[in-house]
Structure 1
Amino acid sequence: MSEAPQPATTAHRPSSARVLPALVLAMLAFSVVQTAVVPILPSLARELDVSGSSITWLMTANLLSAAVLTPMLGRFGDLRGRKPMLLVALGGLVAGSAIAVGTHSFTWLVIARVLQGAGGGVLPLAISIVRDELPKAKVTGGVAAISASMGVGSGLGLVVTGLLLEHWSYKSIFWMGLGFGLLAVLLVALRVPTDPVVDKAGGADPLGAVTLAGWLSALLVAVSQGNTWGWTSNRTLGLFAVAAVIALVWVAVEARVAHPLVDMKMMARPAVAFTNLSGLLMGFGMYGSFMVISNFAQTPEKLAHYGFTATVLHAGVMLLPSALGSMAAAPIGALLIARRGPRLPLVLGGVLGGASMVYLALRHGSEIDFYLASAVFGLGVGLAYAAMPAYINGAVPAEQSGIANGMNAVLRTVGGAIGTAVMAAILTGDTMKLPIPVSLPTLTAYEHAYWTAAVMCLIAGLVPFGIRRIKADAAESTTPGALDGAGTAAAVGEPATTGA
């Protein structure tokens, strides 16, 4: 069995004021870089002289890389130390940004986006570092700040992209990523302490890593390209079948090896399984709604009789309240988790996200409607993302914290890929006839998209009621020391008798 790490004394732990800003900046650097290219994909297609279907590989490659590398970096952090792996993750982001700055080749730009995807490992590694290094009283707030900053960075990335494009070329987006990444590397190197290996008895699982990469790759390529290839095409259906087969092989491998990359028993615990389902649904809602709102805002009003003829910057500003809402959610979420456990903020997150999308489905004639809905949605996403690591950390030992939070991050990414694909299918499936060769979705198509996002968020808010006893779940397979490292089960979990 793995040795439980000995809790460090409070006197030897670094202050949250020293460590937390470095970790939050690292998370912001990745989330900004990941979403910043979304509004400029059409202009990049023209700039690089590639088709509209080909340019989407800049998002597909990044999502795929993040999905594959996030759990691996999280697990290697458990085995080799969290700080070294965090620097590796940020190193990939910096290297990818540097290549993107220096190239005019579409192929090299795709490679750059693959390297940037390594930044996905920041989330589980940063959460594990907070759990290991900060004083117990600061853990819940620190984890909430890091997790909520994913929503903050995603919203800010859209705004900053528009602002940069008002004055400079698309290269400025990658210069921004390079600067963010270098600053994050510097702060992490100087402020984050070198951590001990928490799973000294663990080992590598190369076959588990290969099969995980295999089924995630097949699934994400099929989802991302389904609208281009056709959802019933041989390529799309074939990749879905390949993903299913390799996923079954992966589960069988992980159930048999002595030191699995992902412990299937851990994944099956209600607190982990239901939290991951909620992460998938909220990822669907967040990425899908960002795309729909941005497209709606940029629709020329004279042609479609809806939309606001917004520039990329204007559309990004309309999503800025979501970033502010996520920022406000971090301290609110931490307070709710400390007092009531993670169920309430996770339920509220889903309800607020769903309510904001219902509002847009019914009212979308004024920019004020979008500013209001965006703020409420950001608050919901921030609350939900703050609660998820609290559920997971309360249910797994410290030596599995990295991989457990890594898999949750993967499912958010998968949900985002599915959400953008489904939203694109809804919008392209119902277009209006215009006297010019331009295809625009009908207003009804947008309303259907908002309703779809609302349903996904509301279901995410219901999911936590399937978690009955996080405290009992944690006690079955963790040591008291591991629970203390999470901030104690009582602090982050539900009372033992709650639920059905």
Structure 2
Amino acid sequence: MERRGVYPNIEKEIRVDSSVQTETVRPEVRPGALVGVLAFTGIVAALMQTLVVPLIGDLPKILNTSSSNASWVITATLLAGAVATPVTGRLGDMYGKRRMLLICTVPLVVGSITCAMASSLVPMIAGRALQGLGVGLIPLGISVMRDLLPPDRMHSSVAMMSASMGIGGALGLPVAAAVAENTNWRVLFWAVAVLSAVIFVLLWVVIPEVPPLGKAARFDVVGAICLGIALVSLLIAVSKGGDWGWGSTTTLGLFALAVVVLLVWAKWELSLSDPLVDLRVTARRPVLLTNLASVVVGFGMYAQSLIIPQLMQLPSETGYGLGQSMLAMGLWMAPGGLMMMLVSPIGGKLSSARGPRVTLLVGCLVIALGYGSSMFLLGSTWGLLVVVCICSTGVGFAYGAMPALIMSSVPQSETASANSVNALMRSVGTSVSAAVVGVVLAQMSVDVGGHSLPTESGFRTGLLIGCGVALVAAAIVTAIPSERKLRKAADERLMAEV
């Protein structure tokens, strides 16, 4: 009789057939090269979120359209990424993660080329939607690490891969602003197309093929379509509710459609033996609470990314704005991404020593500290830089711990799917954050020269909301069972089975 780890560090499975010795054999890899390539892949994928921010004011003129229509250039990336993430994760578990990593780079290249050549709204939206499909690279990359890296390297490597999301977003803003100010905007998209092609080559060379661990199954097309409809309805309502009116028929109708379709989808998933998302696994307390914490952490992380850039760029004549240019603002924000990169190894070591639950708790508390400190540091660029660095440190700890918590609680054959759902939860959190902060700033604003500007009280209120949300996330984390309790429960189940 053999006992083989199916839920690493948490659960074990009894193998009754003593004549069969089954071991997981990892292909030979160079850990440093693998982590470096996957982290670079995550940074480029994250660039898509901030790539067009410096162009927002010019998009209506570039595309010969209205400001309202031009906003879909950003929304399209969000929607495509949200829908694609759980689908690519499931396909990675079924058909191989290396194959899906390579496939996900193709729309990045095609989408970037489409945007670079676009002169009207429709092709630009199509290209940005294709770019959004690349978001699935990050949870797939984290899952590959679980399959290929030795256990002693996993926590620090996962933390680095997770930090790549913040690094790409933070560094992408000043780089994109510099390019937009000093050369043709199309250069941005041609550069990303080249980087995406480089990623394809690096992934092909460095990542070995790993046979799928899950059993052969038919892909849940109905589940994917239903989840896509629900997510698109929800995110459009959240993203556009401020423009359309939160009580408008369109907004309320989309929210209602999302709820109804999600209920139908859940019933359908529970009826299948091979669903798109295994809701029974997702409902386990560690996974459920980690995903809930991810929504709240995503909210807390994104609030400062919305508020602080506005504070920096408002005219100094307001009395609280700092009058920075887009490029200068991006440079002041960039150290936040560097802080995430610097603290990710520390977070990995803390997870290895004390468990990812402790690391996630520390991250939430540090984010709350960052928001709290803003009450005393507003009024100078250096003060806001300190706030950004503190918050980014907390995000670095939290983002590295969440995938580790998920992977310690799900079968290895469902790693990519579970990580993708967790990444989706963070995206939902950021979308809700954008909506809530937008409402707060819109309600607490004044008319200056025919323009509505948020007041200092509005900014402070938004930052205090971020602090409160981070504390709520910390409270949720304390309810996640410790690794010791999970081991004890697993051992008790095994003894009962024997």
Q: How high is the TM-score relative to the length of structure 2? A: 0.91
Show the counterpart of 2:411: 397
Out of 140, 151, 156, the residue aligned to residue 171 of structure 2 is 156
How many angstroms does 1:361 deviate by?
A: 3.3
- 2:118–2:124 CA contact under 8 A, matched in 1: yes
SS at match of 2:212: coil
- State the alpha-carbon separation in 2 of the partners of residues 212 and 397 from structure 1: 22
- 1:271–1:470 CA contact under 8 A, matched in 2: no
Listed as ranges, the matches of 1:114-125 within 5 Å are: 114-125=129-140
Change over 3 Å in CA distance of 1:282–1:243 after alignment to 2: same
Deviations 1:175-224, CA, capped at 9 Å, x for gaps: 23212212211110111111111112333111111111111010000001
- State the alpha-carbon separation in 1 of the partners of residues 61 and 372 from structure 2: 35
SS at match of 1:194: coil
Change over 3 Å in CA distance of 1:208–1:21 after alignment to 2: same
Out of 327, 352, 372, the residue aligned to residue 366 of structure 2 is 352
- State the alpha-carbon separation in 2 of the partners of residues 114 and 265 from structure 1: 31
Change over 3 Å in CA distance of 1:476–1:322 after alignment to 2: same
- State the alpha-carbon separation in 2 of the partners of residues 44 and 283 from structure 1: 27
Show the counterpart of 1:485: none
SS at match of 1:395: coil
Show the counterpart of 2:158: 143
Show the counterpart of 1:439: 452
- State the alpha-carbon separation in 2 of the partners of residues 449 and 390 from structure 1: 30
Show the counterpart of 2:461: 448
Listed as ranges, the matches of 1:291-302 within 5 Å are: 291-302=306-317
Tell me which moved more, 237-246 or 143-152: 143-152
SS at match of 1:104: coil
Listed as ranges, the matches of 1:47-446 within 5 Å are: 47-302=62-317, 304-434=318-448, 436-446=449-459
SS at match of 2:275: coil
Letter in 1 for 2:42: M
SS at match of 2:60: helix
How many angstroms does 1:309 deviate by?
A: 1.2
SS at match of 2:409: coil
SS at match of 2:451: coil
SS at match of 2:274: coil
Deviations 1:274-332, CA, capped at 9 Å, x for gaps: 11111111211222321211111111112x22211111111111211210111012101
SS at match of 1:260: coil
Q: What residue ranges of structure 1 are gaps of 5+ in the alignment?
A: 481-500
Show the counterpart of 2:16: none
Show the counterpart of 1:496: none
SS at match of 1:440: strand
- 2:295–2:426 CA contact under 8 A, matched in 1: yes
- State the alpha-carbon separation in 1 of the partners of residues 476 and 6 from structure 2: 31
- State the alpha-carbon separation in 1 of the partners of residues 6 and 369 from structure 2: 43
- State the alpha-carbon separation in 1 of the partners of residues 485 and 97 from structure 2: 28
Change over 3 Å in CA distance of 1:91–1:476 after alignment to 2: farther
Show the counterpart of 1:487: none
Out of 41, 45, 70, the residue aligned to residue 56 of structure 2 is 41
Show the counterpart of 2:475: 462
Change over 3 Å in CA distance of 1:340–1:260 after alignment to 2: same
SS at match of 1:249: helix
SS at match of 1:433: strand
SS at match of 1:166: helix
Deviations 1:71-90, CA, capped at 9 Å, x for gaps: 10010000000011011111
- State the alpha-carbon separation in 2 of the partners of residues 471 and 269 from structure 1: 16
Once superposed, which parts of structure 1, at least 4 consecutive aligned residues long, lie more than 3 Å away? 3-10, 469-478
- State the alpha-carbon separation in 1 of the partners of residues 371 and 257 from structure 2: 34
Q: How high is the TM-score relative to the length of structure 1? A: 0.91
Change over 3 Å in CA distance of 1:80–1:273 after alignment to 2: same
Show the counterpart of 2:12: none
Q: What residue ranges of structure 2 are gaps of 5+ in the alignment?
A: 8-21, 494-498
- State the alpha-carbon separation in 2 of the partners of residues 417 and 50 from structure 1: 24
SS at match of 2:323: coil
How many angstroms does 1:377 deviate by?
A: 1.0
Query: Aligned-pair RMSD on alpha carbons?
Result: 2.0
- State the alpha-carbon separation in 1 of the partners of residues 176 and 490 from structure 2: 46
Percent of aligned positions with the same letter in both sequences? Answer: 34
Show the counterpart of 1:494: none
- State the alpha-carbon separation in 1 of the partners of residues 241 and 386 from structure 2: 33
Tell me which moved more, 467-476 or 29-38: 467-476
SS at match of 2:405: helix
Letter in 2 for 1:464: V
How many angstroms does 1:50 deviate by?
A: 2.4
- State the alpha-carbon separation in 1 of the partners of residues 60 and 300 from structure 2: 26
Change over 3 Å in CA distance of 1:477–1:153 after alignment to 2: farther
Deviations 1:46-100, CA, capped at 9 Å, x for gaps: 3323222222212211111111100100100000000110111111111111101
- 1:218–1:239 CA contact under 8 A, matched in 2: yes
How many angstroms does 1:160 deviate by?
A: 1.1
Change over 3 Å in CA distance of 1:105–1:475 after alignment to 2: farther
- State the alpha-carbon separation in 1 of the partners of residues 54 and 293 from structure 2: 27
How many angstroms does 1:472 deviate by?
A: 5.5
Change over 3 Å in CA distance of 1:477–1:88 after alignment to 2: farther
Change over 3 Å in CA distance of 1:476–1:7 after alignment to 2: farther
SS at match of 1:178: helix
- State the alpha-carbon separation in 1 of the partners of residues 237 and 278 from structure 2: 26
Letter in 1 for 2:319: H
- 1:395–1:471 CA contact under 8 A, matched in 2: no
May I ask how many residue pairs the two structures share in their alignment? 474
Letter in 1 for 2:462: A
- 1:35–1:158 CA contact under 8 A, matched in 2: yes
| Bigger CA radius of gyration | 2
